Amino acid sequence: MMVGIVLLTVATILILAGLAHRVLDRMHLSDRAALVFVLGMIAGSFVEIPLVGGLSPITVNLGGAVLPTALAVYVLARAGTSWERWRAVIAVVVATAVIYGLSKYVNFGEKAMPIEPIYLWAVIAAIVSYLVGRSRRTAFVSATLSMVLLDVVHVVETGILGLRAATRIGGAGAFDAIVLAGILAVILAEVFGEARERLAGGPHGGPDRPPGLGREFGDRPGGGE
């Protein structure tokens, strides 16, 4: 969990320094709300909520699953248009399918891997989420939820196969991957979305622009959200 906690600590510093205001504004999050979620995730990473007991106990991590999911749902609910919400749902499905397929059907030898597979899934989830979502909000929602769903799918799969193993949704390495995927997805959307806007001559304003889609550059499918 150290990677995730370090990333969240850096995010906290950026928020307190006022350097994340523009990104948070486009995601309809105030600095205070963002700090509550970030600090809650750090503290909640040490809290495991039991779901199923017995020989195959299942727990869900408060900071690694419950709070990230709540944040993603909140951001999705604040989306400017119904199409943006559907685009986020499509991105979640696609990203989850891609990383699940890779995790099951591609054999990555540990010696050939420069990073642990769970971090690779996070990077791939972030890239796919941005390519499909094409905005900060949808990329964040998709990357976060797809990594949580990957854990859920593995829990269901373990149950179907009758394997006896303790499973932690959003715990341990999954916590790191969920945090990494969400932050990286936003960074990709911020960097490449901004570049796309500038190459396109900037966002379009005017009375036809949907309300609530950002103030500084606008929220266009090209990546301004």
Please tell me the least confidently modeled range out of 1-15, 110-124, 133-147, 183-197: 110-124
Overall pTM > 0.85: no
Q: Evaluate whether residue 50 is within a structural domain.
A: yes
Q: What is the pLDDT of residue 134?
A: 83
Domain ranges, residue 152:
2-199
188-215 mean pLDDT? 60
Q: Evaluate whether residue 121 is within a structural domain.
A: yes
Q: Evaluate whether residue 192 is within a structural domain.
A: yes
Q: Evaluate whether residue 20 is within a structural domain.
A: yes
pLDDT tens-digit profile of 144-179? 999 999 999 988 888 888 888 888 899 888 999 999
Q: Evaluate whether residue 217 is within a structural domain.
A: no
Q: Evaluate whether residue 27 is within a structural domain.
A: yes
Q: Evaluate whether residue 182 is within a structural domain.
A: yes
How far is residue 41 from each of residues 137, 173, 207, measured CA to CA in Å? 19, 14, 39
Is residue 215 scored above 90 in pLDDT?
no
| Nearest CA among 77, 85, 72 for reference residue 148 | 72
Q: What is the pLDDT of residue 212?
A: 47
Positive or negative torsion for Cα 4, 95, 167, 49: positive
48 beta partners: 61
Structurally, how many domains does the chain consist of? 1
Is residue 77 scored above 70 in pLDDT?
yes
Q: Evaluate whether residue 212 is within a structural domain.
A: no
Q: What is the pLDDT of residue 38?
A: 95
